Amino acid sequence: MSVIYDRVALIGLGLIAGSMAHAMREAGLAREITGFARSEATRQTAREIGLCDRVCDSAAEAVEAADLIVLAVPVGAMGEVAAEIAPHLKPGATLTDVGSVKQAVIEAVAPHIPAGVHFIPGHPLAGTEHSGPRSGFAGLFRNRWWLLTPLPDSDADAVARLSDLVRAIGAKTDRMDPAHHDLVLAVTSHAPHLIAYTMVGVADHLRRVTDEEVIQYSAAGFRDFTRIAASDPTMWRDVFLHNREATLDILGRFTEELFMLQRAIRMGDGQQLFDYFTRTRAIRRGIIEAGQDTEAPDFGRAPGVTKPA
């Protein structure tokens, strides 16, 4: 593949940015990759593993003369980082982000972007429960969706160029209205994560079941909850605080469904339970048919392997 951006600056050096660095280098999509992270320890680790061509000691240095800047920091930090780097962005550069919430990011970042810089919000629907500069790998985005939420005045050529990069690192791309994005993600990601955190918390507080029993006898369902609940707490705290309305809406609907199931169980209504589970099973089949997971009981993840093939 050919170079798409001469210099790419990654602000934040965790799973997503690290995976982007590996994927871009593997495909030869950038002549130079610079990076910055707030933590000195993170920067040192990134240097040790050669994550970027240059790991800088300031965000301003990292974005200097960059053609593409990627904000890969928690949603709550986006506005502050945007204000810090704004004076150092070159005209014609593209700024994107990888946050799981879009409306709040746009409100926080857009006011700081100077004229001539193209702000194109984005969100890769890919990840694992791991974080940090060592967690990234080139195949993270393969066959995963990467949603772009361009602003009304976004430059068409800049959007097309960013889309080319996304596809070149293996992802499928689509465009979506920011508000609709936040509602969709509340259903497919945010509420499920909150439910997983809650279920693990319930097990922790249920003193009739000992810690040893919870760990030793974890069935597949609870194991999957704990995997999800192991995700980065800072990131998920910010997601829920910044996608509050959509998440609360979906949780309200979830509560209504839960009450319905409670009544069916209490009344011994086996037919209602069977019909409900049949409908929800079809959704799982649809995910498999769309190539977004596998039928394997372990979801295709071999024991001891945390990075999907």
Q: Going by C-beta distance under 8 Å and a sequence separation of 6 or more, which residues neighbour residue 268?
A: none
pTM over 0.85: no
Query: Do the domains spanning 5-176 and 180-268 agree at the CATH topology level?
Result: no
The residues spanned by each domain of the chain are 5-176, 180-268
pLDDT digits (tens, 9 = 90+) for 233-267: 888 788 888 888 888 888 888 889 888 989 999 99
Q: Going by C-beta distance under 8 Å and a sequence separation of 6 or more, which residues neighbour residue 96?
A: 68, 69, 70, 71, 119, 120, 121, 122, 148, 162
Q: Average pLDDT of 211-237?
A: 69
pLDDT digits (tens, 9 = 90+) for 23-45: 999 999 999 999 999 999 999 99
Q: Going by C-beta distance under 8 Å and a sequence separation of 6 or more, which residues neighbour residue 231?
A: 127, 129, 131, 193
Residue 207 has pLDDT above 90, yes or no: no
Report the range out of 176-185, 231-240, 276-285 with the highest average pLDDT. 176-185
The answer as to CATH 3.10.105.10 being correct for domain 180-268 is: no
**d(C-alpha 175, C-alpha 177), whole Å:** 7
Fold of 5-176: Rossmann fold (3.40.50)
